Amino acid sequence: MDLNQLEAYLRPQHLPQVQDWSEGWAWLAGGTWLFSEPQPGLRTLVDLEPLGWSELEVTEAGLSIGATCSLAKLSQFDWPAAWPACAAFRSAISALAASFKVIHLATVGGNLCLALPVGTMAPVMLALGATYEVWSPSAPPFQLPALGFQTGPQQTRLQPGQVLRQITIPAAQLRCQVDVQRFGLAATDPALALVVGTYDPQTAQVQLALGACLPAPYLLQFSGLPSAVEIAQALDAELPLERFVHDARASAGYRRQLAQVLIQRCLEGLRC
Amino acid sequence: MLEPLSFQVNAQPYTEACAPGSSLLSLLRRLGWAGVHAACASGDCGSCTVWLEGEPIHSCLYPAQRIGGHAVTTIEGVAQDGQLSPLQQAFLAHQGFQCGFCTPGMILSAEKLSGLSEADLRLALRGNLCRCTGYQAIVNSILNQPEPSEPVTTGAVGQSIAKQDGPALVTGQPVYTADWSPPGLLHLKVLRSPHAHARIRQIRTDLAKALPGVHAVLTYADVPRRAYTTAGHAEPVPDPLDHFLLDYKVRFVGDRVAAVVAESVAIAEQACQLLEVEYELLPFVLDPELAMNGSSVIIHDEPESQQIYARDRNIAGHVALESGNIAQGFAAADFILEATYTLPAVQHAHLEPHVSTSWLDEDGTLVIRTSTQVPFHCQRILSEILDLPRDKIRVFKAQIGGGFGNKQEVLSEDLCALATLRTGRPVQWEFTRTEEFTATNSRHAMTLRLKTGVKADGTLVAQDLEAIGNTGAYGNHGQTVVFLAGYLPLGLYRCANTRFRGYAVYTNTLPAGAFRGYGATQGSFAMESHLDEIARQLGLDPLELRRKNLIRPGDPIGVGRSEDHFNLIGSYALDECFTKVVQALDYVPGQPPRVEGLRRRGLGFAVSMQGSGLSKVHTAGVRLSLEPEGHFCLKTGAVDVGTGSDTSLRQIAAQILDVSVGDLQLISADTHRTPFDAGSYASSTIYISGQAVNLAAQNLRGQLLNFAAQLWQTPAETLVLAAGAIRSATQQLSLGHLAQLAQAQQQPLVAELAYAADESSLTFAVLGVEVEVDTETGKIQVLRCVQAIDLGTAINPRICRGQAIGGTVMGLGYALSEELWLDQQGRILNPGFRTYRIPTAADVPPIEVILVQKADPYGPLGAKGVGEITTNCIAPAIANAVAHATGVRLSQLPMTPERVWRALNRDPA
């Protein structure tokens, strides 16, 4: 939609050209959320597109994903056969329940930094142990772990003017088996609960990232494939009912039930 | 404005500057590419799809500032050298559209989705919403799948003649209201209330008026204070007169506060934010039962309002029907069931929003081009509230992008017209999708309490129904909707002792209004769930119980007094409908549910009836002429809301006059160019307007034969009209020649008449579904759906199927996913397609439609209404199938997974 109150639209060729970051400024990645609803406080958009941060790089150390890599590019990439965990990208993008026309434009970094509870890239990055490289126009880059990056609904550890530049995932994690489970009200509804699970055949480590049902994604870790009892114990200990999202779409209790069901189904997928 | 950008659209070069926040959608529409449709502006519906360098995108999400150096293709650029693309041709061949508003986006998306399975295609179409077709015709178009074959007929009637507007729709022609406007256009925006109930003490307009580009600011102080109803009904108007152009009081979150007229939408929006409104907050009430019993809030205390049943109790309308003696009936019953059914407010979600454009003609006539189902009622209402003679107001519709009852209202025309009168300028007012969800109308949320007494064999002996409908802040359609909620479902069954009490109750919420099914949808859910539950508890077959009690040919409607009725049984093929549905689903009475692990499958059924138009009060005028050039001109006030009724009406005339549909020029729905028609509502267009066309065509046919008979000095009975000519045993006269002779003799060949039906025939439908319930999550999946409709003659079977599938899918959304959520302050929490879930292609099961054709003795060429009934059955059928599968009865819609899961776990929270 038209953002009629917008006063400026910047297209920097280099990040340091962005000067005097102020209140009412926002980074523009794909635009698929920013242009999808009114943005009352927004005055200036800084378009990241000309910076060309959309690379996908496969090295022996692992994978690096440019922040403005489109979801379509990530979804359609021809992954090394030794990295079965990369299947999670496609599943998670599918779980976003967005139109393929949105997937063309929406970006990996946009999905992470928007930090909606229903975001699907964040649980994947949590399960895969990703690290985020953060840039700003006037300060040196630094790294943040995916774990803890999203702190709440539309809240991250990024400070005003800071921008996600790149995501890196270690190769060891990409060699894991993976399974993604989602549940929504309808076939194409944003998820009520999402579980991304990885299983490392070398170490028997299981990582279960829960999304959509919590204000921010959460990682459950097990040293082997857990039993139903162990899962229930972990949920009870780490995620009491009040931690789950409770809104008009579904109650906290129902989301918790879904989380349990999806974890079971995810583990069944990982066992196969 | 920033630096101009150079780009191409459909190979045409442009260099344009645009505002920093402009979307590509707005830029393309500003440049005149009207095939790019604006419906949600949030990237959810896909109507604005274009190709950017060959890749489909939602143009509403794309910053116009990024377009420099790029090439864009819109629907207008898909056909090459006048040759439609194969997919455009497939959409025409399979009629993959109704109103056509989603069509350009569907085609541009599907062009890039080749080689997918049907399941994958349906998933891939999740960014393309359609509210009319139920997607089946769209999927068939894309996959080029064969369609059901229809019986071969000789005349035009009974053939699936293509919708005549198809070529314009698949090529994105500028046919909708917003696609054209006169030069010098101003834009109107309304500031809407953030409060559920407040008195406006003062509105300071100075800052807004001072903003450059603002032409007028209108508040309650600037408008005549006349109470009217926004509902488009024929006189005598049954609705409360309780609405004002602008008022000193707001009654729901979203109510109108003030209007701004400015050079652009952006300036008007900005000026609205500069209005300083001083509110005196008033206590509010959101719950209808509280509003009627025990609240001190009076929503309509203003003295000017009229026709309110009991304003001190917030009761807008009241219905009481009674026959027999229910106390005696219940005393004679072997078994009594009492239950309460709770139904939500839901939204029409027509893709084209409400939009009007008004201007003053050269002779001073106020002209309103608008997306309306009721142009003539609109003209009358505007005449009353603006104090202008009717003939100084011209209202006409362009192509309509869906209505479903929400455009049987005057919601955008009134302020738009007033703004033109005040400024002298053309003015346009187009609603945003948020306004559609928060400030138009909903289906009435309703609570129905039903008590039924039966004998041990299932014979009904007493029924007592109370319906409390939440009519929101204004009473438009309230009483009549509540009436149908009781009258039709109770009337469907024989029962000697029946009582119905209905209340349309004001609350401080979004007004409820007309919506396909019009109360019958709500009542059918209660009745069909209730009878199913009685059968279950008595161990009877639910279909057998219904068949034992259903009304039969010759029966009067049993509820209330006969003078309360306006329907009768004409043709009757309910038995055949049952047989067909039972066969299609292989239903065997008493068959147990299928259990597969944690999943359970069951079958469920429902029956419904709906009238065909409104008898006596619904008038349709037609003027049919043979023009001097030799073709026929059909002028009708009837409104095609996108269904294809304009084509069906021509088929009726073509049948009588033995010409092809293409030989009939149609001019429709224009108060200055066509005769009066009450409009498109109550499943009336074919039954009433179609009968007017039929009678006019018969009349004109007689005139043509008489003309030739006089010419040849031979009795008219010896002549035939066929294939564009009149023939006797020895002579032949082409219609072209006849027209010239008639013109030379100054004898007009015109039939002009108005028709109102004495009685309205009942259409019946039976629907069955098979569902699977995931007991771990509560999710319902509909596996199969079969509906048989007793619709008389299908004038155009494909259009009738389109109504059936589209209506069923609308009912599917009502059953499973749609609900307007209100917070405790009366704000709607899901005013957009991302959070208000209408079915997507992937949510729709295979739907089989069986048209049971048995000619009706009253309808035109045997036809009955079919527009609404198709929505009624699927929700109760699903609830009944879930009960069969799991033993658990759902009595609240929508049947969300959480509600099902809670019911399965006996958890009421």
Tens of pLDDT, residues B1-28: 678 999 999 999 999 999 999 999 999 9
Measure CB to CB from residue A185 to each of B26, B126, B897 and give the nearest one: B897
- Residue for token pair 């300028």: B425
Please report, for residues B173, B442, B644, B652, the alpha-carbon distance to residue B101 in angstroms, rounded to integers and kept in the order given.
11, 21, 13, 26
Q: What is the pLDDT of residue B731?
A: 93
Q: What is the pLDDT of residue B566?
A: 78
For residue B236, what pLDDT band results from cuts at 50, 70 and 90? very high
Res. B565: pLDDT tops 90: no
Contacts of B111 (CB under 8 A, 6+ apart): B56, B78, B85, B87
For residue B707, what pLDDT band results from cuts at 50, 70 and 90? very high
Q: What is the pLDDT of residue B908?
A: 63
Instruction: State in Å, rounded, how far the first CA of chain B is from the last one.
Output: 54
d(CA A143, CA A149): 11
Interface contact flag, A99 B63, Cβ < 8 Å: no
Q: Which residue on chain B is closest to A99 by alpha carbon? A: B127
Measure CB to CB from residue B61 to each of A102, A257, A261 and give the nearest one: A102
Q: pLDDT > 90: what percent of chain B?
A: 95
Hey, is the C-beta of B860 within 8 angstroms of any chain A C-beta?
no
Res. B367: pLDDT tops 80: yes
Measure CB to CB from residue A31 to each of B62, B834, B896 and give the nearest one: B62
Contact B291, B505 (CB under 8 A): yes
Residues B859, B795, B864, CA angle at the centre, nearest 5°?
Answer: 30
Provide the H-helix boundaries in B477-519.
478-491
Q: What is the pLDDT of residue B892?
A: 98
Q: What is the pLDDT of residue B746?
A: 94
Q: At what angle do helices A252-271 and B897-904 cross, to 10 degrees?
A: 90
Q: How many residues does chain A have?
A: 272
Contacts of A258 (CB under 8 A, 6+ apart): A183, A192, A193, A213, A250, B777
- Residue for token pair 């979004």: B510
Which chain B residues touch A100 with a CB distance below 8 Å?
A: 56, 109, 113, 124, 127
Strand ranges (DSSP E) for B397-475?
427-430, 445-454, 460-472
Res. B473: pLDDT tops 80: yes
Say if strands B847-852 and B779-790 run parallel, antiparallel, or are unpaired: parallel
How many C-beta atoms lie closer than 10 Å to residue B470's C-beta?
Answer: 27
- Residue for token pair 């772990």: A145
Interface contact flag, B909 A251, Cβ < 8 Å: yes
Average pLDDT of the residues in B364-386: 98
Contact B344, B417 (CB under 8 A): no
CA B604 to chain A, closest CA, distance in angstroms equals 21
Residues B652, B655, B661, CA angle at the centre, nearest 5°?
Answer: 75
Task: Give the three-class secondary structure for A42.
Answer: coil
CA B844 to chain A, closest CA, distance in angstroms equals 9
Q: What is the pLDDT of residue B294?
A: 87
For residue B679, what pLDDT band results from cuts at 50, 70 and 90? very high
Candidates B776, B819, B899: best to mutate against A (most CBs of A within 10 A) is: B776
Q: Which residue on chain B is closest to A5 by alpha carbon? A: B21
Hey, is the C-beta of B20 within 8 angstroms of any chain A C-beta?
yes
Hey, is the C-beta of B855 within 8 angstroms of any chain A C-beta?
no
Which residues pair with residue B338 across a beta bridge?
A: B451
Interface contact flag, B42 A189, Cβ < 8 Å: no
d(CA B587, CA B576): 15
Please, what's the b/e burial string for B95-104 (b: 16 or more CB within 10 A of its CB; e: otherwise)?
bbbbbbbbbb
Q: Which residue on chain A is closest to B119 by alpha carbon? A: A187
How many C-beta atoms lie closer than 10 Å to residue B591's C-beta?
Answer: 11
Which residues pair with residue B447 across a beta bridge?
A: B342, B468
Q: Is the peptide bond before B240 cis (omega within 30 degrees of 0)?
A: no
Res. B55: pLDDT tops 80: yes
pLDDT single digits (tens) B888-907: 999 999 999 999 999 999 87
Cα torsion for B429, B433, B439, B445, to the nearest 10°? 150
A211: nearest Cα among A154, A146, A126, A91: A126
pLDDT single digits (tens) B855-888: 999 999 999 999 999 999 999 999 999 999 999 9
Please give the interface size between A and B, counted as residue pairs whose CB atoms are below 8 Å apart: 143
pLDDT single digits (tens) B256-275: 999 999 999 999 999 999 99
Residue B787: what are its φ and ψ, rounded to 5°?
A: -130, 130
The per-residue DSSP string of B790-829 comes to: E-BS-SSHHHHHHHHHHHHHHHHHHHHT----B-TTS-BS
Contact A128, A202 (CB under 8 A): no
Residue B898: what are its φ and ψ, rounded to 5°?
A: -65, -40
3-state SS track over B313-345: HCEEEEEEEEECCHHHHHHCCCEEEEEEEEECC
Hey, is the C-beta of B431 within 8 angstroms of any chain A C-beta?
no
Residues B496, B497, B502, CA angle at the centre, nearest 5°?
Answer: 130
Interface contact flag, B128 A99, Cβ < 8 Å: yes
Q: What is the pLDDT of residue B567?
A: 87
Average pLDDT of the residues in A191-202: 96
Q: Is the peptide bond before B238 cis (omega within 30 degrees of 0)?
A: no
Q: Which residue on chain B is closest to A28 by alpha carbon? A: B63
pLDDT single digits (tens) B487-521: 999 999 999 999 999 999 999 999 999 999 999 99
CA B908 to chain A, closest CA, distance in angstroms equals 12
Which chain B residues touch A246 with a CB distance below 8 Å?
A: none
Which residues pair with residue B619 across a beta bridge?
A: B756
d(CA B609, CA B246): 39
Q: Which residue on chain A is closest to B897 by alpha carbon? A: A185
Task: Give the three-class secondary structure for B127.
Answer: helix
Interface contact flag, A5 B41, Cβ < 8 Å: no
For residue B564, what pLDDT band results from cuts at 50, 70 and 90? low
Res. B314: pLDDT tops 70: yes
Strand ranges (DSSP E) for B128-246?
186-192, 198-204, 214-218
Q: What is the pLDDT of residue B819?
A: 98
Hey, is the C-beta of B688 within 8 angstroms of any chain A C-beta?
no
A154: nearest Cα among A131, A122, A198: A122
Kindly tell me the burial class for residue B417, based on how many C-beta atoms sit within 10 Å of its own C-beta (0-12, 13-18, 19 or more): buried
Q: What is the pLDDT of residue B151?
A: 72
Which chain A residues touch B25 with a CB distance below 8 Å?
A: 1
Measure CB to CB from residue A250 to each of B58, B842, B898 and give the nearest one: B898
Task: Give the three-class secondary structure for B480.
Answer: helix
Q: How far is CA B664 from the centre of its chain?
A: 26
Q: Amino acid identity of B786?
A: V
Interface contact flag, A1 B57, Cβ < 8 Å: no
Q: Is the peptide bond before A12 cis (omega within 30 degrees of 0)?
A: no
Task: Give the three-class secondary structure for B169.
Answer: helix
**Average pLDDT score over chain B:** 96
For residue B153, what pLDDT band results from cuts at 50, 70 and 90? confident
For residue A188, what pLDDT band results from cuts at 50, 70 and 90? confident
Res. A66: pLDDT tops 90: yes
d(CA B495, CA A21): 75
Measure CB to CB from residue A101 to each of B22, B57, B829 and give the nearest one: B57
Average pLDDT of the residues in B439-444: 98
- Residue for token pair 């450059």: B212
| Sign, CA torsion A147/A150/A152/A158 | positive
A116: nearest Cα among A215, A256, A219, A247: A215
Contact B223, B304 (CB under 8 A): no
Interface contact flag, B23 A35, Cβ < 8 Å: yes
Measure CB to CB from residue B898 to each of A99, A254, A261 and give the nearest one: A254
Average pLDDT of the residues in A125-150: 97
The per-residue DSSP string of B647-707 comes to: HHHHHHHHHHHT--GGGEEEEESBTTTS--B--S-TT-IIIIIHHHHHHHHHHHHHHHHHH
Provide the H-helix boundaries in B262-325.
265-274, 288-292
Does the complex come out with an ipTM higher than 0.95?
yes
Interface contact flag, A186 B840, Cβ < 8 Å: yes
Q: Amino acid identity of B717?
A: E
Contact B483, B311 (CB under 8 A): no
Interface contact flag, A188 B123, Cβ < 8 Å: yes
pLDDT single digits (tens) B65-111: 999 999 999 999 999 998 999 999 999 999 999 999 999 999 999 99
Measure CB to CB from residue A100 to each of B124, B823, B834 and give the nearest one: B124
Q: Which two tokens stand for residue A44?
A: 């200036």
pLDDT single digits (tens) A131-140: 999 999 999 9
Which chain B residues touch A250 with a CB distance below 8 Å?
A: 896, 898
Please report, for residues A183, A191, A213, A236, B649, the alpha-carbon distance to residue A210 in angstroms, rounded to integers and kept in the order given.
12, 11, 7, 14, 57
d(CA B549, CA B559): 14
Hey, is the C-beta of B30 within 8 angstroms of any chain A C-beta?
no
Say if strands B249-250 and A44-47 run parallel, antiparallel, or are unpaired: unpaired
Contacts of B327 (CB under 8 A, 6+ apart): none
Q: Which two tokens stand for residue B804?
A: 């059936």
Contact B368, B417 (CB under 8 A): yes
Q: Which two tokens stand for residue B878?
A: 């699903």
Q: What is the pLDDT of residue B1?
A: 61
Which residues pair with residue B372 across a beta bridge?
A: none
Cα torsion for B253, B259, B260, B261, to the nearest 10°? 130
Element (H, E) at A163: strand A163-170
Measure CB to CB from residue A101 to each of B127, B839, B843 and give the nearest one: B127
Contact A250, A161 (CB under 8 A): no
Res. B909: pLDDT tops 60: no
Q: What is the pLDDT of residue A7?
A: 96
Q: Which two tokens stand for residue A64?
A: 């690096």
Which chain A residues touch B830 with a CB distance below 8 Å?
A: 248
